[in-house]
Amino acid sequence: MADPPRLPTDVLIEVLIRLPVKSILKSRCVSKSWCELIRSPVFIQKHSKFERKQRVLLVKRYFPQQNGQGESFSFHDPNFPEVLVSPNLSIPILDDLNISSRKRSNISIHGPCNGLVCIAFGKTVFFCNPALREFKLLPLPRYPFGFIAVPLQYGFGFDPMTGAYKVIKISYMTHELPKFAEFLDGLGKSNIRFDLYNSASNSWTQIVAKVPNIIYLPGYELFYNGTIHWFAVMATNNYPCILCFGVSTDAFSLLHFHDDFDSPERYLRLMEYDDRLAVVGYSGYMPEPYKIEIWVMKEYGEKESWTKQFVAAGHYCVICPFLFLKNEELLVESYNGQLATCALNENKFKGFQLYGAPRTMSAVVYEESLISLNQIIASE
């Protein structure tokens, strides 16, 4: 096929980066020169910095005992969650692991970062570019002989200083011999271990961190302001705090809540609201009159800047909030496993025809990216 009439390269780039990723990928078939341009680091970098990329809602749902495949990864319009924008995501890595349908409910999504997500199931971790439908299985951390690492938390972030993508894994260490495990516990040593994956080296290293005596809570992490955040509880006074990991510094720190912070709700979730760090308190378990409280940290790192932004109540239950949408709407999973929105200013609830087993749904919004996993992960 003859090449189309030539445009100056800089003009062609400015035209192409404004197209949806699907259209850009199809444009690779126009000619060899277009294909080389679209795959070039210069084009991918310009596209990653372009502000009007398509935003997509990725929803993970779990269906028990459904044709032997328990989970579904589907793509939706964030403004109209019932609208599918792409065929469901099939993940060969999960199929190769031969995971039982029941255990598939524990698959977790972390991120996104620059259009990439990190997916974890137990000790198995891999990167995914949903737009390109690329997957990359990460190597396993190495542990001393006889020791078992039970994953407690994962975090996924991007280091702009080095261009590396990092995964932090928090594990509880025990020994396969019960008596030896009891002996180690008796020494009073911490059983918590931190391992860091770096895409630049495609390897894990252990981080010896001086972290205060805290109890880690299961739940979702938040990558915000170049830092990964998790909820934790101070073991000394049973008071909630936020454990932080700086992706560029590889160092841990703590954020504390305002002294007046006393959410009566049973569950807490870290989120981003209006480009600020926020915490959402919600009921989480019973279909009874509920209350949602939203606190916002006006100045990052300033304990006294926590402000109660919203208090909403109604006759439905939120199992888990996911993210804030336009017009002060909160996307949530309701008590019956339904995807829904709460209009915080109007105290209205709207359910969508998207269901799964309760407490197994997750949702993230990402901007489509042309970043190939083969370009960011070091060769073995």
Q: Look at residue 116 and tell me if it is in a domain.
A: no
Q: 288 or 127: whose pLDDT is higher?
A: 127
DSSP labels for 130-147? Answer: TTTTEEEEPPPPP--TTE
Q: Look at residue 101 and tell me if it is in a domain.
A: no
How sure is the predictor about 276, in pLDDT bands with cuts at 50, 70 and 90? very high
Nearest to 76 by CA among 61, 91, 87, 90: 87
Q: 166 or 82: whose pLDDT is higher?
A: 166
| pLDDT in the model for residue 117 | 94
φ, ψ of residue 186 to 5 degrees: the values are -70, -20
Q: 260 or 315: whose pLDDT is higher?
A: 260
pLDDT of 128 > 90? The answer is yes
Token look-up 């060769």 returns 379
| pLDDT in the model for residue 61 | 86
Residues 269-274: what's their mean pLDDT? 90
Q: Are 190 and 166 in contact (CB under 8 A)?
A: no
Q: Look at residue 143 and tell me if it is in a domain.
A: no
Q: What is the DSSP letter of 77?
A: E
Nearest to 283 by CA among 362, 239, 342: 342
Q: What is the DSSP letter of 28?
A: T
Other CB atoms within 10 A of residue 161 CB = 10
pLDDT of 73 > 70? The answer is yes
Q: Are 56 and 90 in contact (CB under 8 A)?
A: no
How sure is the predictor about 188, in pLDDT bands with cuts at 50, 70 and 90? very low
Who contacts 263 (Cβ-Cβ below 8 Å, separation ≥6)? 279, 281, 293, 295
Q: Look at residue 9 and tell me if it is in a domain.
A: yes
Burial 126-146 (b: 16+ CB within 10 A, else e): bbbbbbbeebbebeebeeeee
Domain that holds residue 34: 1-53
Q: Look at residue 174 and tell me if it is in a domain.
A: no
Q: Look at residue 41 and tell me if it is in a domain.
A: yes
| pLDDT in the model for residue 311 | 80
Q: What's the structural domain count of the chain?
A: 1
Q: What is the mean pLDDT of the chain?
A: 80
Integer angstrom CA distances of residue 190 from 185, 204, 212, 240, 263: 8, 20, 11, 20, 30
What do you get for the CA distance between the two ends of the chain, in Å? 37
Q: Are 358 and 319 in contact (CB under 8 A)?
A: yes
pLDDT of 118 > 50? The answer is yes
Bridge partner list, 119: 109, 126
112 upstream amide cis, omega within 30 of 0: yes
Q: Look at residue 176 and tell me if it is in a domain.
A: no
1-5, 32-36, 93-97: segment of lowest average pLDDT: 1-5
Q: Look at residue 188 and tell me if it is in a domain.
A: no
pLDDT of 204 > 80? The answer is yes
The dihedral formed by the CA atoms of 54, 23, 158 and 308, expressed in degrees to the nearest 10: 10
pLDDT of 146 > 90? The answer is no
Residues 301-330: what's their mean pLDDT? 82
Integer angstrom CA distances of residue 151 from 104, 121, 190, 280: 16, 9, 15, 25
